[in-house]
Amino acid sequence: KKMPVIFFDEAHKLPALIQSTDTMKCLLDSMLVLTKQDRLCHVIHATSDPFYQTWLRQLNVMQHCKIITIGDCSKAETRSF
């Protein structure tokens, strides 16, 4: 079974777009239900901001996250990917 993926590029801009902490927490909790409990999709937050992880930690969602750091790939790594 193919599972849909929801991809947020520039995810570090979410706090500026959604001013209310309660609203943002509700959105993240909804993603948690969709991904972990119901297993209906995957959600990926992509960002170049290293402080986004700190912000997620403040909302107590880091225990449900898997952090993957991708650095600048070499030309050979890019081709193999």
| Model pLDDT for residues 50-74, shown as the tens digit of each residue | 888 888 888 888 888 888 877 777 8
Cβ 41 vs Cβ 34: under 8 Å = yes
| Model pLDDT for residues 6-29, shown as the tens digit of each residue | 999 999 999 899 989 899 999 999
pTM: 0.76
What is the band of 78 on the pLDDT scale with cuts at 50, 70, 90? confident
Range of the domain at 50: 5-79
Report the C-alpha gap between 63 and 73 in whole angstroms: 28
Number of independent structural domains in the chain: 1
What lies within 8 Å, CB to CB, of 27 at 6+ separation is 18
CB atoms within 10 A of CB 45: 19
What lies within 8 Å, CB to CB, of 36 at 6+ separation is 64
